[in-house]
Amino acid sequence: MGDIDAVLFDMDGTLVGSDAAVELAWRQWAADHDLPPEPVLAAAYGRPISATIRHLAPWLDDDAVRLEVDRQNDREVADADGTKPLPGAYELLAELDRLGTPWAVVTSAGRRLAEARLQATGITPQILVTADDVRVGKPDPEGYLLAATHLGVSPRRCLVVEDSLPGIEAGRRAGAQVAALRGHPGDLAITDLHELLPVIHVR
């Protein structure tokens, strides 16, 4: 891996453990619409709520989609207090701060949900880019490009840390190097954030 000027993290499944809350909310949504939960869960992971609902329920008009998004956000925010940091998160973020390496969180969650989950874990990013800040969510690279701009660095000198295929694609399309969790392919495959401590290079 080349030198890194900044690190851009996904949130859910990367910095914080929210799988249980996400799965519960989407199982409830599937039940509401008489849909089998497995394809709903598969479609929901790593993408904005609005994109997931439009994909799964194309018959809904814009007003109905907005109502569904609000309902899903309410469900997930209600469970946010139980959010925990994932292994290595605190150690890695502390080391980045010690080195003076800028970092950001780029998430497919809306701002209200993202702030609730991050507050529950005590993680305060220097820059937070949410689904509310972009026109197009992952796998589009807009969020990562926006974060790099806010940090004043080239996206090509950023390390994106992701745990979903849409997020990995977004990082690659932004021109960044990608560290991938959950066995996904990336420039670097990792099992948890501890493994990034020895491989982060600061220019």
DSSP string, 47-90: S-HHHHHHHH-TTS-HHHHHHHHHHHHHHHHHTGGG-EEPTTHH
State residue 203's pLDDT score.
43
State residue 78's pLDDT score.
86
Total domains in the fold of the chain:
2
Q: What is the CATH number of the domain that holds 118?
A: 3.40.50.1000
- From the list 5, 12, 79, 163, the catalytic residue is 12
Instruction: Record the pTM.
Output: 0.85
Do 113 and 174 belong to one domain? yes
- From the list 5, 10, 79, 163, the catalytic residue is 10
Specify whether 97 is catalytic. no
Residue keyed to tokens 């959950």: 182
Q: Which two tokens stand for residue 46?
A: 């790593």
What is the rounded average pLDDT of the residues 125-137? 95
157-192 per-position pLDDT tens digit: 999 999 999 999 999 999 999 999 999 999 999 999
Range of the domain at 58: 19-81
Specify whether 187 is catalytic. no
Q: Is residue 1 part of a domain?
A: no
23-66 per-position pLDDT tens digit: 888 899 999 999 999 999 888 877 788 888 999 999 999 999 99
